[in-house]
Chain A
Amino acid sequence: MPRILPQVLRNLFRKPFTVKYPYVKVEPPEGYRGRLAINKERCIRCWLCIHTCPARAISVDKETKRPSIWLGRCTFCGECAEVCPTKAITMTKEFEYTTLYEK
């Protein structure tokens, strides 16, 4: 224990290592695999994304006839964004997707 005391004392007087999260936000780095965004206009309905998704998280939306991603199953691997021929699916840097509901 005594050997670690200098560290402990130093930590007492310096600013905290953590950030006060909801007020201060840390920007994720470029290329972060966050929430997926689908550009419905660009989609050509080839359904490649549905076949590629390892988590089977993508289904066809009955109303718009476009793919929709169930984020509860998505593992954020980014395969769908990689395979999409028109780049209709992209990965954003957004990481706050906690909701009370499924959608």
Chain B
Amino acid sequence: MTFVVPVGPQHPMLKEPEFFRFEVKGEEIVGVDIRLGYAHRGIEEALSRRSYKHNVYLCERICGICNVVHSTTYCQTVEQLAGVEPPERAKYIRAILMELERIHSHLLWLGVAAHQIGFNTLFMLAWRDREYVMDLRELISGGRVHSAMNTIGGVRRDVRSEHVPTMLRGLDKLEQSARYYTDLWGSDRTILARCTNVGVLSKDDAIKFCAVGPLARASDVKVDIRKDDPYGAYGALSFNVITEQEGDVWAKGMVRLREILESIKIVRQALKELPSGPVRTPVELKIPPNETVERTEAPRGELIYYIRSNGTDTPERVRVRTPTYGNFASMKSMFAGGTVAEIPIVMWSIDPCFGCNDRITLVDSHTGKARVVSFDELRRWKK
């Protein structure tokens, strides 16, 4: 006999509205059903009604945490459509910003993960040290969260040379604390007891369900768009792709923490090798009919943008596939066989971002089935 435990759309465990239906047998979870779409904001439609230039700022607002990677991917896609190449210096500045973003996103993850397992001390400490990276972002972009740095054809402001020493000092502090947390994550009894052998995603399942980002890397699948399909300055920067073998929540955390250290290395290298020159190329934004796809590695995994142009200064269609969407399929195999008490940390281990995920999933309220429809189907949708 199974019971159904509904979680959401409003639930203290969830930071954003989404509905999960857990089937439990006693303490054990036997099935999970996910209904998406509660945070649908109609952004893709809005994107096809604004000009290319204005869309940069709208893309930035698809997700607050990964705003730079969203606007960078958008700008790269439009640059590819328009056939322009941003200057080298702009590519490096974008890489610096994206890596700072990865650091802050992973530290944020660590804090919330610690909170989900009831380890609030670590939550406070991780978020305290996250302030260092927020200060660095504020220093070079003028805003703590939204950078507003990207524009089509480059970046809008330069990294000034007098900022470099401050940045390096901030990175030292960050490195110290990231090392401390990596140590702690590998040795603390509370963390080990709550996270090892919990929410395991096997390597086969990770491949089968097309997991992306840290989730796949924690199951020993070596995927990283920065390495597999280098974009921007990443071809010239040296770094390692972090993988772990276990596939449990602990491994997912370890991958993220070790990635912070890699990101610090990348930012240091990029600051050292920052080429000189302009940061912006002028672009003519009347793009003839064409279409293109661009992908990048967001903090949560692979982010894909598809844009179709139609000769005017507005895109005809923009499609965004966020990493969280790619990771939902793996959820079932992570939850099955676990206990109810594990739900929060396992859910958080994919670092879900529902706000950026919900765009085109439809929910049929009569049958309770959620399904994704194509744009053509949606156009023909009657009810």
> Do most interface residues of chain B lie in helix, strand or loop, or is the interface mixed?
helix
Q: Is the CB of B57 within 8 A of A55?
A: yes
Q: Is the CB of B57 within 8 A of A2?
A: no
**Which residues B331-356 have CB closer than 8 A to chain A?**
none
Encode A28-70 as 1/0 by CB contact (under 8 A) with B: 1101110000000000000000001011000000000000000
A98 interfacial by beta-carbon distance below 8 Å: no
Q: Is the CB of B139 within 8 A of A29?
A: yes
Minimum Cβ distance to chain B for residue A78 (Å): 6
Contact of A3 among B57, B146, B157, B188 (CB under 8 A): B188
Minimum Cβ distance to chain A for residue B120 (Å): 11
What chain A residues lie within 8 Å of B53 (beta carbons)?
A: 52, 54
Encode B39-81 as 1/0 by CB contact (under 8 A) with A: 0000000000010011111100100000000000000000000
Contact of A4 among B55, B57, B188 (CB under 8 A): B188
B122 interfacial by beta-carbon distance below 8 Å: yes
Contact of A31 among B125, B142, B184, B187 (CB under 8 A): B142
Minimum Cβ distance to chain B for residue A42 (Å): 22
Closest residue of chain A to B143, judged by CB?
A: A33
Q: Is the CB of B143 within 8 A of A76?
A: yes
Q: Is the CB of A33 within 8 A of B189?
A: no
Interface size band for B: 20 to 34
Q: Is the CB of B148 within 8 A of A1?
A: no
A7 interfacial by beta-carbon distance below 8 Å: yes
Also in contact, A29 and B138, with CB within 8 A (given A4-B121, A54-B56, A82-B156): yes
Interface size band for A: 20 to 34
What chain B residues lie within 8 Å of A76 (beta carbons)?
A: 143, 146, 148
Q: Is the CB of A33 within 8 A of B125?
A: no
Q: CA–CA, A3 to B190, complex, Å?
A: 10
Also in contact, A75 and B142, with CB within 8 A (given A1-B189, A4-B122, A4-B188): no
How many inter-chain residue pairs (CB < 8 Å) link A and B? 58
Q: Is the CB of B138 within 8 A of A28?
A: yes
Q: Is the CB of A77 within 8 A of B190?
A: no
Closest residue of chain A to B183, judged by CB?
A: A3
Q: Is the CB of A54 within 8 A of B54?
A: yes
What chain A residues lie within 8 Å of B142 (beta carbons)?
A: 29, 31-33, 78, 91
Encode A74-103 as 1/0 by CB contact (under 8 A) with B: 011111001000000001000000000000
What chain A residues lie within 8 Å of B184 (beta carbons)?
A: 3-4
What chain A residues lie within 8 Å of B21 (beta carbons)?
A: none
Q: Is the CB of B58 within 8 A of A54?
A: yes
Q: Is the CB of A31 within 8 A of B157?
A: yes
A13 interfacial by beta-carbon distance below 8 Å: no
Contact of B57 among A28, A54, A91 (CB under 8 A): A54
Q: CA–CA, A3 to B54, complex, Å?
A: 49
Minimum Cβ distance to chain B for residue A21 (Å): 14
Minimum Cβ distance to chain A for residue B14 (Å): 26
What chain A residues lie within 8 Å of B189 (beta carbons)?
A: 1-3
Contact of A7 among B50, B125, B156 (CB under 8 A): B125
Q: Is the CB of B146 within 8 A of A75?
A: yes
What chain B residues lie within 8 Å of A79 (beta carbons)?
A: 57
What chain B residues lie within 8 Å of A82 (beta carbons)?
A: 156
Closest residue of chain B to A28, judged by CB?
A: B138
What chain B residues lie within 8 Å of A33 (beta carbons)?
A: 142-143, 148
Given contacts A4-B125, A79-B57, 7 further A-B contacts (CB under 8 A): A1-B121, A3-B184, A3-B187, A8-B121, A54-B57, A54-B58, A77-B148
Jot down 29 A-B pairs with beta carbons below 8 A, ordered by A. A1-B121, A1-B189, A1-B190, A3-B187, A3-B188, A3-B189, A29-B138, A31-B157, A32-B138, A32-B142, A32-B143, A33-B143, A52-B53, A54-B50, A54-B53, A54-B54, A54-B55, A54-B56, A54-B57, A55-B57, A75-B57, A75-B146, A75-B148, A77-B57, A78-B142, A78-B148, A78-B156, A79-B57, A82-B156
